[in-house]
Amino acid sequence: MSKTDIEINVVSGMSEISADVWDACACPEATNGQLANDPFTTYRFLSALENSGSVGPGTGWSARHVTASMDGKIFAVAPLYAKGHSQGEYIFDHSWAHALENAGGQYYPKLQIAVPFTPATGRRFLTRPGMETIGQAALVQGAVQLAAENQLSSLHVTFCTEPEAAAAKSMGLLHRTGQQFHWQNQTYSEFDDFLACLSSRKRKAIRKERKVAQSFGGDILALTGDDIAPEHWDSFWNFYQDTGARKWGTPYLTRAFFDEIQATMRNEVLLMLARRNGNFIAGALNFIGRKTLYGRYWGCIEDHACLHFEMCYYQAIDFAISRGLDTVEAGAQGDHKLARGYLPVETHSVHWIADPGFRQAIEQYLAAETSAVQEERTILTSYGPFRKTGAEDT
């Protein structure tokens, strides 16, 4: 099939493409009310970001979504943004920006294929079933051409799948690896089944943490679907603002974003709220995929020992076991997750760098970084809380 058979277009917002067309590429498995594998690349999630003003003018995230068509029919799409900074990405390239600018270059604006503010692995080159190979090639070539034609420094594809990274690498992009901590369900029937797989010391530590957390003087609600009410979002917004102000200076998401997902995604939301003396004092927001629970945001207005661990990690495990989910992704970073049963896994991104000399420097940097990340992951895994095969439980 020749390149002339494929037409690449760029749209400046989700409103310029229909939900049916986008989701036919992003989540073809989500038919007849089924959950999407990845809730974050769905039309409703990306539209919620745009409609709420969380991305768009003044945010440094300008939508330039790419579509690939044949015979007038879109068969592949990618969520692409022109970025004026490197905030909200969770795969850090600030040092790259400083290096290029110190050498007299201009790093921003750049292009980013990503889900804003969402360090969750998923497909980034979204294709209709059976069109994966040609769709990935078309989207990569189209995005690179867009960056080159506009004389931009770089294109980045973050938190893509490993097969996507391999495909993009074969097309000349640089491959970068990182790590996160995920919990894996080994067909547990209940939380105690998970605990039984841990060393005695770690098992006792988790039981103690849960006991301390649950003695905060209130109760914890696990809400999803129609059980979530506007007042719940009002409370969570207060928690989110507090966390956002401390972490980023300004929260990434607007209050309107939570109204948008309440309207369109409440069945894909798990909202944990801690209540004491009739008032909500802490919350954790999760999104539900077909096989994975994605932990996203935590906040509180009262500090209670171990409550963060309970609401973000242990309650998430409880929910995943009850729903038969395979994985809990607990967000970016956090070595402290290791002791709570979340083991290190590899994450992937790919990068196109326009300047040949700068590309060579980045390539050398990534070779050293990859080796260090692999070594760290091996060491961390060895320190995991699980009983070693054949070892005596002490």
CATH number of the domain enclosing 35: 3.40.630.30
Residue 353 counted as domain residue: yes
- Tokens 């999760």 sit at which residue? 286
254 and 362 both lie in a single domain: no
For residue 393, the model assigns a pLDDT of 55
Sign of the Cα torsion 313, 319, 321, 323 reads negative
Task: Give the SS3 label for residue 66.
Answer: strand
Domain's final residue, options 297, 325, 353: 325
58 and 158 both lie in a single domain: yes
Element containing residue 351 per DSSP (H, E): strand 343-353
Closest CA to 179 of 337, 316, 292: 337
Residue 238 counted as domain residue: yes
The contacts found for 258-263 with CB under 8 angstroms, 24 or more apart, are 258/233, 259/52, 259/230, 259/233, 260/47, 260/48, 260/51, 260/52, 261/44, 261/45, 261/48, 262/228, 262/230, 262/233
Number of structural domains (the chain) is 2
CA distance 120 to 328: 11
Residue 330 counted as domain residue: no
Provide the CA 93 distance to its chain's centre, in angstroms.
17
Residue 60 counted as domain residue: yes
CA distance 134 to 166: 14
pLDDT block averages, 10 residues each, the chain of length 394: 77 98 97 92 98 97 98 97 96 96 97 98 98 97 98 98 97 97 97 97 97 97 97 95 68 95 97 97 97 95 96 98 97 88 96 98 96 94 84 50
For residue 394, the model assigns a pLDDT of 47
192 and 267 both lie in a single domain: yes
For residue 307, the model assigns a pLDDT of 97
164 and 51 both lie in a single domain: yes
Closest CA to 335 of 299, 367, 366, 379: 379
Closest CA to 69 of 144, 121, 131: 131
For residue 16, the model assigns a pLDDT of 98
Sign of the Cα torsion 183, 188, 194, 196 reads negative
Output phi, psi for 250, to 5 deg. -130, 130
112 and 135 both lie in a single domain: yes
Residue 147 counted as domain residue: yes
CA distance 209 to 228: 28
Residue 391 counted as domain residue: no
For residue 344, the model assigns a pLDDT of 95
Residue 129 counted as domain residue: yes
Sign of the Cα torsion 61, 94, 149, 5 reads negative
320 and 358 both lie in a single domain: no
Residue 172 counted as domain residue: yes
137 and 203 both lie in a single domain: no
Q: Which strands, in side-by-side order, build the sheet including 73-78?
A: 7-11, 65-70, 73-78, 126-127
Closest CA to 136 of 115, 173, 167: 167
169 and 299 both lie in a single domain: no
11 and 135 both lie in a single domain: yes
155 and 11 both lie in a single domain: yes
For residue 358, the model assigns a pLDDT of 97
Which domain does 285 fall in, by range?
A: 186-325
Strand 7-11 and strand 65-70: the pairing is: antiparallel
148 and 203 both lie in a single domain: no
**Buried-exposed string 172-197: b where 16+ CB fall within 10 A, e elsewhere:** ebbbbbbbbbbbebeebeebeebbee
For residue 270, the model assigns a pLDDT of 98
For residue 244, the model assigns a pLDDT of 61
Closest CA to 241 of 255, 228, 230, 259: 255
Supply 44's token pair: 């409703």
CA distance 217 to 277: 8
Strand 110-113 and strand 292-300: the pairing is: unpaired
237 and 96 both lie in a single domain: no
Provide the CA 5 distance to its chain's centre, in angstroms.
33
